[in-house]
């Protein structure tokens, strides 16, 4: 029985559980931001240590994304999803008991591996679990897991920490992850079972070895292109959203208001994520969707940061520019997740392709935000931020053009 032959509610429920697993993973990514003031007071962490606490997960993505994708191709996607949730749960539980920065760092590093396992398994599982007609929309929906989870953590974290402490915040997310692991283990079909086998269109014994998956992925131009594209998108998005609290503080906006404004910027990114699936389903080409996204990301920061003769846009318009930057740019990750499935050399290389894309995304998130901070320090303010985002967007437009040319040729893709 193929996914297309099942009723819509029955076929979409497991895919929605996969999405929910991604949201739970994203909560772990963003849980440290609201806890940093308390961790500084109770554990004495420095600003440098706080930066490492936030970036450890991105370092894991940059170093082991491809290797983890290769390993997951042999383990199975459902097993990897459940194992990732278990790792997040156990490490968060241990982190809540931490009495030293080193233990907290170690728990955070393990969370990074768990998060990556969930992030890499998600697109491949959705590909197996939904009808082909719904796949663009569901992959666009999948790309909302990060902004949704981040916004939820930024909004709820301060309240939970204020009422029960940062340890309870860690333990609460641990229990949520463990419960999600149990639910996914029961409700998500095994990708080694006959149901996904029909969707794959290949026998389980036909799975490629890790050397073949690695060679096939790195020899194909598609995975490289979507990796580079994701890097320039994710890097500039994190630079803007990550520095927003500092920008608001410089403008005299209170911490609670700054948190709410930042959470809205992160959450509105989901509108673009969902729209990307709708646009692709309506026949808009990936190149056009990516072009729209990068043009929007290139132009909207000009409204927020450009100063001419000492004149700048009113604060409300500046904030609208940031909202537009996040919302319009949101069409990019949804499109790239669709292309990751499409550009995978085979069904077995979907996790490897997504791992390679996530690895380049982590590179962008590690390199571009510090570059934007350096530019702001050199300029004595944030007025040249639009130059950095503009350069990233120009690079994205070039990659989108090349991707369009690649799509115009016959491509051996992993999509059935």
Given a cut of 80, is residue 212 above it in pLDDT? no
310-342 per-position pLDDT tens digit: 666 777 888 888 899 999 999 998 899 888 888
**Residue 388 lies inside a defined structural domain of this protein:** yes
Last residue of a domain, one of 147, 178, 207: 207
pLDDT for 309: 62
Helix, strand, coil percentages, rounded to 5, for the chain: 85, 0, 15
**Which pTM was predicted?**
0.74
CB count within 10 Å of CB 55 equals 17
- Confidence band for 73, pLDDT divided at 50, 70 and 90: low
Residues 87 and 152 occupy one common structural domain: yes
Closest CA to 51 of 415, 383, 416, 365: 365
> Which range marks the domain in which residue 33 is found?
1-207
Last residue of a domain, one of 207, 224, 251: 207
Report the Cα 401 to chain-centroid distance in Å.
Answer: 23
- Confidence band for 299, pLDDT divided at 50, 70 and 90: very high
Residues 14 and 68 occupy one common structural domain: yes
Residues 263 and 190 occupy one common structural domain: no
Residues 354 and 241 occupy one common structural domain: yes
Residues 230 and 161 occupy one common structural domain: no
Residues 81 and 162 occupy one common structural domain: yes
Residues 72 and 181 occupy one common structural domain: yes
**Residue 414 lies inside a defined structural domain of this protein:** no
Q: What separation in angstroms does the CA of 245 have from each of 72, 232, 263, 279, 322?
A: 37, 22, 10, 32, 13
**Residue 413 lies inside a defined structural domain of this protein:** no
**Residue 41 lies inside a defined structural domain of this protein:** yes
Residues 198 and 283 occupy one common structural domain: no
CB proximity list for 155: less than 8 A, separation 6 or greater: 259, 260, 263
Residues 76 and 122 occupy one common structural domain: yes
281-292 per-position pLDDT tens digit: 888 899 999 999
**Residue 416 lies inside a defined structural domain of this protein:** no
Last residue of a domain, one of 207, 222, 237: 207
Range scoring the smallest mean pLDDT among 232-236, 373-377, 393-397 = 373-377
Q: What is the mean pLDDT of residues 220-228?
A: 90
Percent of the chain with pLDDT over 90: 23
- Confidence band for 171, pLDDT divided at 50, 70 and 90: very high
Residues 374 and 293 occupy one common structural domain: yes
Residues 216 and 288 occupy one common structural domain: yes
**Residue 214 lies inside a defined structural domain of this protein:** yes
Closest CA to 233 of 185, 312, 188, 290: 290
Closest CA to 34 of 266, 320, 273, 301: 266
Count of the separate structural domains present in the chain: 2
**Residue 415 lies inside a defined structural domain of this protein:** no
- What is d(CA 189, CA 68) in angstroms, rounded to the nearest whole number? 21
Residue 293: CATH number of its domain: 1.20.1250.20
Residues 168 and 242 occupy one common structural domain: no
């Amino acid at each position: 029985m193929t996914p297309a032959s099942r009723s819509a509610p029955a076929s979409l429920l497991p895919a929605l559980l996969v999405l929910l697993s991604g949201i739970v993973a994203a909560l772990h990514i963003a849980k440290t931001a609201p806890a940093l003031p308390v961790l500084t007071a109770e554990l004495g962490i420095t600003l440098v240590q706080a930066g490492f606490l936030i970036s450890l997960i991105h370092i894991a993505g940059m170093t082991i994304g491809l290797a983890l994708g290769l390993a997951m191709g042999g383990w199975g996607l459902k097993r990897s999803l459940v194992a990732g949730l278990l790792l997040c749960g156990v490490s968060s539980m241990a982190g809540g008991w931490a009495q030293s920065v080193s233990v907290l760092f170690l728990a955070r590093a393990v969370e990074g591996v768990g998060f990556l396992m969930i992030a890499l398994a998600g697109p491949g599982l959705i590909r197996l679990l939904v009808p082909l007609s719904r796949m663009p929309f569901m992959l666009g929906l999948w790309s909302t897991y990060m902004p949704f989870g981040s916004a939820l953590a930024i909004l709820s974290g301060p309240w939970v920490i204020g009422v029960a402490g940062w340890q309870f915040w860690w333990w609460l997310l641990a229990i949520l992850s463990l419960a999600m692991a149990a639910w996914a283990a029961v409700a998500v079909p095994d990708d080694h079972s006959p149901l996904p086998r029909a969707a794959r269109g290949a026998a389980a014994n036909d799975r490629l070895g890790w050397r073949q998956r690695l060679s096939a992925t790195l020899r194909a131009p598609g995975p490289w292109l979507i990796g580079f594209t994701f890097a320039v998108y994710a890097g500039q998005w994190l630079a803007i959203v990550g520095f927003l609290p500092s920008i608001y503080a410089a403008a005299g906006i209170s911490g609670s208001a700054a948190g709410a404004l930042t959470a809205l910027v992160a959450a509105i990114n989901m509108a673009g994520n969902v729209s990307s699936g709708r646009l692709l389903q309506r026949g808009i080409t990936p190149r056009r969707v990516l072009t729209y996204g990068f043009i929007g990301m290139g132009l909207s920061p000009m409204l927020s940061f450009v100063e001419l003769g000492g004149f700048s846009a009113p604060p409300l318009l500046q904030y609208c520019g940031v909202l537009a930057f996040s919302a319009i740019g949101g069409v990019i990750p949804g499109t790239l997740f669709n292309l990751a499935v499409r550009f995978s050399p085979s069904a077995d290389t979907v996790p490897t392709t997504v791992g390679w894309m996530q690895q380049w995304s982590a590179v962008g998130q590690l390199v571009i935000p510090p570059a934007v901070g350096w530019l702001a320090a050199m300029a004595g303010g944030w007025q040249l931020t639009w130059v950095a985002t503009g350069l990233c967007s120009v690079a994205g437009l070039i990659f989108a053009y090349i991707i369009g040319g690649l799509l115009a040729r016959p491509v051996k893709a992993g999509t059935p």
